[in-house]
Amino acid sequence: MHIHILGACGTFMGGVAALAKASGHTVTGSDQNVYPPMSTQLRKLGVRVQTGYDADQLTDAMDSIVVGNVMRRGMPVVEAMLDRGLNYESGPQWLARHVLAGRWVLAVSGTHGKTTTASMLAWILEHAGLSPGFLIGGVPRNFGVSARLGESEFFVVEADEYDTAFFDKRAKFVHYRPRTLVITNIEHDHADIYPDVESILWQFHQLLRTVPGRGRILVNARDPNIPRVLDMGCWTPVERFVSGEGLRAEWQGEYELVGPKSRFVVPRGDGEVGRAGWSLAGEHNLQNALAAIAAAEHAGVPVETSLEALTAFEGVKRRLERRGRIDGVTIYDDFAHHPTAIRQTLQAVRQQQPERRVVAVLEPRSNTMKQGLHAAALPGSLDAADLVYVYAPSALEWDAAEVLAPLGGRLAVIGAIPALIERLVADLREGDEVVIMSNGGFDGLPRKLEQALDARRRRPA
């Protein structure tokens, strides 16, 4: 079959393209913004992607059109597709029908932590010899790709609550029908789609309706919104996970050692199942690990095997990814774009490097951030940083300087990327830990800052 993908360079739709190609189909696509890393991944797979949404890209040779949720009515290619009566379906529909049907689906949902938890889970299953398939909204460093078909019944999917398509406003995850479901947390996000947290809880309720009675649901014991979803109706055994002290749950963990090389222990009942050392940071990552361990155990993987796997887990690209140290400055690239995720990321760096300056560089890029829905929570989320630089172009719908004024002299609000780089190069000093946070490309800021710091290093004293 010839499958044409509209919106092919999004992480999810790029994964769909990879799975379709691996299934033996001819795959082409288009997107408004065709750039690495997804464009590079698709080119290596032999998927030709053109720029733009012109109607003339559609041909009679195409058997099916898979529509990404970036597509809207009024786009020339969408109107032509509808006018010509062509065969089309959403990405989640295609995935469910052609890949997930008949498989043991392990779905990882929640506002934060989905990508890392799903990556941990896929790696645990791989380490256990189960050769899972997966589709993840990031690139796990242990695999080097965001999606693969796998060779067993197990398939790990990052279960996103974003809407499915312009013709299907349900959350993506209602299509997946998981046997094992993880809910990491639930907060209000995607304000362009969901007016309040109640509307998101309703979508999670629809998801719970699809989990079989012989399945398992793993939930974060500390999250206040998850019990509200469970109270709407639940027909599946539920187990809880929690890190630290103060709560009891079926799955618990606690750090024994925190630093560049951390170690955590997993107690159960009156004893200890085991412990693992790794290079990840933050209490949130320990919770992610517990969720992955619990989900893998449901699939038959002993906890001891999961702990061995996590010792060798290398993390996920753009999830507090350490790019390197240049002229004494360490640079991290991170996807954080919600106050909770921003706070967790910065606290993790502070926890690992308590003696160094932590420098936050933030692009409020998501629709929710641009609209200012979470603006009031931002000062507190940035509190762990010694210096905060916020990129605030004219398109931002709120006054960043006014909202973030509680940060005082630690704050710099800058409206242009060249000016931001110039200021960073002037201010950064040896030993600084710089965390660049955006859910987009940030106009190539990580690479540009590295180049500017390297030029600073080579200047004559």
Q: Which domains does the chain have, with CATH numbers?
A: 2-90 (3.40.50.720), 102-311 (3.40.1190.10), 321-458 (3.90.190.20)
Task: Provide the pairing of β-strand 238-243 with 216-220.
Answer: parallel
Q: Which residue has the higher pLDDT, 50 or 280?
A: 50
Residues 6+ apart with CB under 8 A from 49: 8, 9, 28, 29, 30, 31, 34, 39, 42, 43
Confidence of residue 265 (pLDDT cuts 50, 70, 90): confident
| pLDDT > 90 fraction of the chain, expressed in percent and rounded | 64
Question: Which residue is it, tokens 């180049």?
Answer: 451
Under 8 Å between Cβ of 264 and 286: yes
Query: Considering the entire predicted model, what is its pTM?
Result: 0.83
Residue 258 has pLDDT above 90, yes or no: no
Q: What percent of the chain is helix, strand and coil (3-state, nearest 5)?
A: 35, 25, 40
Give pLDDT tens digits for 71-116.
999 999 999 999 999 999 999 999 999 999 999 999 999 998 899 9
Question: Which residue is it, tokens 């109107």?
Answer: 79
Structure tokens at 350: 């502070």
> Which residue blocks in 219-282 are alpha helix, DSSP H?
226-232
Under 8 Å between Cβ of 378 and 360: no
How high is the mean pLDDT of the chain? Answer: 90
* Range of lowest pLDDT (11-15, 35-39, 160-164, 308-312): 35-39
pLDDT in the model for residue 390? 92
Confidence of residue 269 (pLDDT cuts 50, 70, 90): low
Average of pLDDT values for 318-341? 85
Q: Which residue has the higher pLDDT, 189 or 30?
A: 30
Residues 6+ apart with CB under 8 A from 132: 106, 122, 125, 126, 150, 152, 154, 155, 156
Structure tokens at 199: 């509307």
Average of pLDDT values for 3-23? 94
Average of pLDDT values for 192-213? 92
Q: How far apart are CA 255 and CA 264, in angstroms?
A: 4
Residue 50: which region, alpha, beta or left (left: phi > 0; alpha: psi -120 to 50)? Answer: beta
pLDDT in the model for residue 410? 93
For helices 339-352 and 283-298, give the axis angle rounded to 10 degrees. Answer: 110
pLDDT in the model for residue 36? 65
Amino acid at 404: L
Confidence of residue 385 (pLDDT cuts 50, 70, 90): very high
pLDDT in the model for residue 314? 85
